[in-house]
Each structure stands twice: as C-alpha cells, then as structure tokens.
Amino acid sequence: MGTTLMTGASRGLGRHAAEHLLRHHPDCHLLVFNRRAGLAAELAAATGNPNVSEVICDLASFGDIRRAAAEVDRPLDGFLGNAALQMATTRKLTADGVEMTFGVNVLAYHLLLNLLRPRFTNPARIIVVGSDVHDSAHNSMGLIPPPRWDDPRELAKPGEGTAKAGRRAYATSKLGVVYLVHALRRRLPDGVDVYSYNPGLVPDTELSRDAGRLGRAVFRAVGRALVALPVATTAVRAGRLLAETMAGPRPGDSGSYISRGEVIPSSPESYDERREEELWTAATALTGLSRTPHRSA
C-alpha cells in the first residue's frame, strides 16, 4: 500500500480532494498533516475508508515542521501540498519571525520536502498547489495585485499593513512555489516527479478567512457570482481534479506547471534559474537546513 502525505485537507478543495482519494483510491494510505487532532477520524467516517492517519503540524513553525517530519515512519510515494494562507496584511509573523504568507506558502514547503526527501520511494509524485495569480498578466478579476519578486530575505521580512500588500504577498508566494518546484526538480532523481498545480479560481473556499468579517462577507458574495462564470470552479470540482492529478496517470514531465489538470507553460517570469537558485539558497538558510546534518535514504 502506497502512502500520500497531504497538507491542507481540512477544508475547501483540499477536503474534497482528500475525500476523493479515500473513496476512489482505497489502496492508498492518506497521511494528513493538520494543526488540530481528529481530522483523520473525520475523513475515515465521511468516506468509510480507515486508511488515513494524521500527524499534528503547524506549518507556521519550523520547529513543529521538524518534529512532525520526524514522526513520519513510512515510505512515501506521494505528497500533496495544498495548505496555504492569504493574509490581510504583511505584518503577521510565523513563530520564527518570518512574514506569514511567505513563511507558510514557500519556506514551510522547502523545509518539509527537504526533510522528507529520504522517505520518498521511486517512483513518487510531489504536487505543490500554486495559483494562476503567480502570473503578472493574469487579471485575477481585479482581486489580487500582480506578484512583486524581491530578494527572498526581503520577502521574509514583515511589510505593509494594508490589504493590498497582503494580497500581493499571496501572489508573490505563488510565484515562489513555481521557483521552488523548478529548483527541486533539478535535485530529485529520475522517477521522483514534482509539479506545481493551479486549481483555478475557486471562490467557495476559506482562503480569505484572515480578512475580517466584512472582507469575508464581500469575498463570499463575489464568489457566489463568480462560480457561475467559466473562469471559476467549485471546491468540489477542483478537489476532484486535484486528486486525480495526484493519483492518476503521470501528468507530464517533472517540473511541469499543471493548470486544472492540463500541463501548460507557467508565466514567462517563472522561468528564471537565477531566481530559483537564489530562492533555494536563501530558503535553505532561513529554515536552518544549512545547519541540518545530511541524512541518507
């Protein structure tokens, strides 16, 4: 029985993806990383599939990520990184003093995937959920400003206390996801594939939960209208497609950008090996991996 480790399985499209995997791929064991206990029992009860377990993990703490990764005691042939944050400002910090959006959406995955590398079997598939807002040419229905890349050490620092800054940080972090995937692809052996995945515009999620009561109400109202348009999709449909990309036939060459199940080019800006390596080096230092002894498989 293979094991897929998943983050962000408690709500929204991630919850639907997790339930779809358990219902339609019963021979796969799902290991969920979640901030609260009880998610595995909920998923087992909802799907009738007991092949699910959990490790408590707060992705906003490097120490907690290290502790949780050390608790993974089985080989992994899949990784689905869905958890992400969109903050109302860039003032909030992780437990390690890093700007929250960049810390969780980029640095946490860099740390977690590097710690788990000895656990991946061959073949294995790694997917980190990104977004089309990583592309400066993407309009985002006017909701998300385009990304603004900078030295990763600067992106890790707190910034402005405005909602626009918070939304821009989200777009920038998703550009960082594509950079990390490209850099990781160069470091993985043949047979261990890594992808960034764009689920499309999914308005009926709780991504805006940090926006305050009024902001959440506005986002929900806009979301109900957008779901009816071709540019958007529901969490149920997005979760099902994400699950099948995870568990179905090989979707494409390692390092590919997959948008709603189809391999397409990511933004022109996202193909920049200098930035990719700069991010890898900075993320390795910021997460303390440069001080972590090498662990063989």
**Angle 163-185/273-286 helices, nearest 10 degrees?**
100
* Under 8 Å between Cβ of 178 and 270: yes
Report the distance separating Cα 23 and Cα 51, nearest Å. 10
Length of the chain measured in residues: 297
45-51: Cβ within 8 A, 24+ apart: 46/19, 47/19, 47/22, 47/23, 48/23, 49/22, 49/23, 51/1, 51/22, 51/26, 51/27
Residue 297: the pLDDT is 40
Name residues whose C-beta falls within 8 Å of residue 18's C-beta, 6 or more positions apart in sequence: 6, 9, 30, 32, 43, 52, 239, 243
- Specify the CATH number for 3-290; select among 3.20.10.10, 3.50.50.100, 3.40.50.720, 3.40.50.300: 3.40.50.720
CA distance 65 to 177: 18
SS3 129: strand
Sign of CA dihedral 28, 110, 206, 147: negative
Phi, psi of 49 (to 5 degrees): -110, 115
Q: Determine how many CB atoms are found less than 10 A away from the CB of residue 39.
A: 21
**Given this model, what pLDDT does residue 296 score?**
41
Ranges of residues in the chain with a pLDDT under 50 are 294-297
In tens, the pLDDT along 146-178 reads 999 999 999 999 998 999 999 999 999 999 999
Residues 6+ apart with CB under 8 A from 191: 122, 123, 124
Pull the structure tokens for residue 253.
């060459």
Q: Are 42 and 163 in contact (CB under 8 A)?
A: no
In this prediction, residue 138 carries a pLDDT of 85
Q: Rounded to whole angstroms, how far apart are CA atoms 154 and 107?
A: 13
Contact call for residues 176 and 110 (beta carbons, < 8 A): no
Q: What pLDDT is recorded for position 11?
A: 95
